[in-house]
């Protein structure tokens, strides 16, 4: 009884209370000593922790996973189309482009309220939005895209790239009248080392960068816009950029047929894509006029039928030459011209041969006439010579006859003739008729008479002849 009362009046010492008291004492002792050992303990703990960290494998744990599906794509690659018009083929064109462009590229459609609504109604477009590959955007004021000039101003404004395209390095800009071909053997990523690549206007164009379907490097664009601004209502933005990038060092710009991405005015085999201006209303004859070449293009890139205004073959007009006109084709015209030229050449050749033959005949005739004339002349000469010889012969014969006659006449002069002459002369008065008298004067006179008689005889013989 007494013990029980004592326990009730004081604190009973039990084993539990002793242990509690001992633990409190130890705690107070540690609390008293801890401030003195705290720096040492912290340093030791830190060294042990560092040793443990070195032994632990390095791993990255994403404690805050994002729900944005756009993170699955490369933010530096963007396919951009700006179209304010609600064109019916925009949806199939966009879906086709998403299937041809490499899968790490994202798409951005910038349009008006009408065009964005018309595109957004498609389930295929909604799916592309859900998976984060396509964004539809209506630019806030004061940005405008209603006209081409507004689009040119937009693309030559540095603020557009900084505000709406942050982190983008490569832009594939395409329009409603351009398309990439699924049969192309090349990938769009093969052009990433170019500053600007598009379509040439001429085979030797120094800047092959038509903006309808082109790949652009944003860093190169910003480099230009940092020191120059485009004046409003001037040249198109692609031409404006091209003139500056072409002369800048370190920029790789497509030129001629080198680095060409698409076909517009210059035909090339198996391009990456095509740009048909105005949906096919302004086509280049060098690319599209030849029906065989046109068929080859459509066989290679059938997707062109999405963006071009086309008709069925049975809808062709009568007489359609398949080259955009009625009547003979250019090939047929060329063939007809060649045939006409060939016929003209043959006719000219035939005429030339006839003229040559005629000339030869005339020359032959002239030669024959000349020969005949020469022969006649020769004959005439010979006849004249013969006649002359005959005349000479006759003359000689006449002379001989004359001489003979003279001699005969001289021998036949009679005394009577001499006497008659002497009488007529009146110089010979002698009664003697002998001319051979001894007198010298008489002899001389006789000789003169004889000479006169010879002359008379000669004259008589000439008259005879």
Instruction: Annotate the chain with three-state secondary structure.
Output: CHHHHHHHHCCCCCHHHHHHHHHHHHHHHHHHHHHHHHHHHHHHHHHHHHHHHHHCCCCCCCCCCCCCHHHHCCCCEEEEEEECCCCCCHHHHHHHHHHHCCCCCEEEEEECHHHHHHHHCCHHHHHHHHCCCEEEECCCCCCCCCCHHHHHHHHCCHHHHHHHCCCCCEEEEECCCEEECCCCCCCHHHHCCCCEECCCCCCCCCCCCCCCEEEEEHHHHHHHHCCCCCCCCCCCHHHHHHHHHCCCCCCCECECCECCCEECCCCCCCCCEEECHHHHCCCCHHHHCCHHHHHHHHHHCCCHHHHCCCCCHHHCCCCECCCCCECCCHHHHHHHHHHHHHHHHHHHHHHHHHHHHHHHHHHHHHHHHHHHHHHHHHHHHHHHHHHHHHHHHHHHHHHHHHHHHHHHHHHCCCHHHHHHHHHHHCCCCCCCCCCCCCCHHHHHHHHHHHHHHHHHHHHHHHHHC
Report the sign of the C-alpha dihedral through residues 346, 351, 354, 355, in that order: negative
Strands across the sheet containing 273-275: 178-180, 273-275, 262-263
For residues 158 and 221, what is the distance between their CA atoms, to the nearest angstrom? 8
Whole-number average pLDDT of the chain:
82
- pLDDT at position 433: 43
- pLDDT at position 118: 96
For domain 69-312, which architecture applies? Alpha-Beta Complex (3.90)
Instruction: Give burial (CB, 10 Å; 0-12/13-18/19+) of 276.
Output: buried
For residues 346 and 124, what is the distance between their CA atoms, to the nearest angstrom? 67
Kindly report, residue by residue over 404-423, the tens digit of the pLDDT.
Answer: 666 655 555 555 555 555 54
Contact 165, 78 (CB under 8 A): yes
Taking alpha carbons only, the member of 83, 179, 95, 88 closest to residue 134 is 95
- pLDDT at position 369: 82
- pLDDT at position 355: 86
For residues 150 and 156, what is the distance between their CA atoms, to the nearest angstrom? 10
The ranges assigned to domains in the chain are: 69-312, 379-465
- pLDDT at position 59: 62
Q: How far is CA 36 from CA 24, 41, 46, 211, 359, in A?
A: 19, 10, 17, 76, 139
- pLDDT at position 33: 67
For residues 336 and 342, what is the distance between their CA atoms, to the nearest angstrom? 10
Taking alpha carbons only, the member of 113, 112, 134, 114 closest to residue 123 is 134
Instruction: Provide the CA 81 distance to its chain's centre, in angstroms.
Output: 30
Residues 137, 142, 145, CA angle at the centre, nearest 5°?
Answer: 55
**Percent of the chain whose predicted confidence (pLDDT) is above 70:** 80
- pLDDT at position 417: 55
- pLDDT at position 8: 46
The stretches in the chain having pLDDT less than 50 are: 1-9, 423-437, 462-465
Question: Number of C-alpha atoms within 13 angstroms, CB side, residue 198?
Answer: 30
Instruction: Provide the CA 369 distance to its chain's centre, in angstroms.
Output: 63
């Amino acid at each position: 009884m007494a013990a029980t009362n004592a326990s009730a009046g004081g604190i009973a010492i039990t084993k539990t209370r002793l242990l509690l008291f001992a633990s409190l004492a130890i705690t107070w002792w540690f609390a008293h000593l801890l401030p003195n050992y705290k720096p040492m303990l912290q340093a030791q703990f830190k060294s042990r922790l560092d040793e443990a960290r070195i032994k632990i494998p390095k791993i990255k744990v994403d404690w805050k996973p994002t729900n944005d599906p756009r993170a699955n794509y490369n933010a530096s690659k963007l396919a951009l189309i700006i179209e304010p018009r609600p064109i019916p083929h925009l949806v199939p064109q966009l879906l086709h482009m998403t299937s041809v462009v490499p899968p790490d590229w994202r798409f951005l459609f910038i349009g008006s309220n009408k065009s964005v609504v018309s595109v957004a109604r498609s389930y295929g477009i909604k799916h592309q939005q859900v998976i984060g590959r396509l964004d539809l955007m209506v630019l806030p004021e004061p940005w405008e895209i209603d006209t081409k000039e507004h689009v040119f101003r937009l693309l030559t404004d540095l603020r557009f790239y900084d505000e709406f395209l942050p982190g983008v390095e490569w832009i594939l800009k395409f329009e409603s009248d351009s398309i990439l071909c699924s049969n192309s053997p090349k990938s769009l990523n093969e052009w990433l080392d170019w500053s600007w690549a598009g379509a040439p206007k001429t085979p030797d164009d120094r800047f092959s960068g038509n903006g309808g379907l082109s790949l652009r490097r944003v860093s190169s664009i910003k480099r230009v816009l940092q020191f120059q601004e485009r004046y409003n209502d001037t040249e198109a933005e692609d031409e404006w950029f091209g003139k500056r990038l072409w002369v800048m060092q370190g920029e790789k710009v497509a030129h001629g047929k080198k680095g060409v991405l698409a076909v517009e005015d210059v035909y090339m085999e198996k391009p990456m894509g095509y740009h048909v201006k105005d949906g096919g209303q302004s086509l280049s004859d060098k690319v599209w006029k030849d029906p065989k070449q046109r068929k080859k293009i459509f066989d290679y890139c059938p997707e062109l039928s999405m963006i071009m205004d086309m008709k069925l073959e049975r809808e062709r007009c009568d007489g359609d030459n398949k080259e955009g006109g009625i009547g003979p084709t250019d090939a047929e015209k060329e063939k007809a011209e060649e045939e006409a030229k060939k016929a003209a050449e043959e006719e000219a050749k035939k005429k030339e041969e006839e003229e040559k033959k005629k000339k030869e005949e005339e020359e032959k005739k002239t030669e024959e006439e000349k020969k005949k004339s020469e022969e006649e002349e020769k004959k005439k000469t010979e006849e004249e010579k013969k006649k002359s010889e005959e005349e000479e012969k006759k003359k000689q014969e006449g002379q001989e006859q004359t001489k003979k006659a003279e001699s005969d006449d001289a021998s036949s002069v009679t005394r009577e003739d001499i006497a008659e002459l002497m009488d007529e002369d009146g110089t010979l008065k002698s009664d003697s008729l002998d001319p051979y008298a001894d007198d010298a004067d008489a002899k001389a006179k006789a000789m003169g008479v004889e000479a006169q008689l010879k002359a008379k005889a000669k004259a008589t013989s000439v008259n005879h002849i």
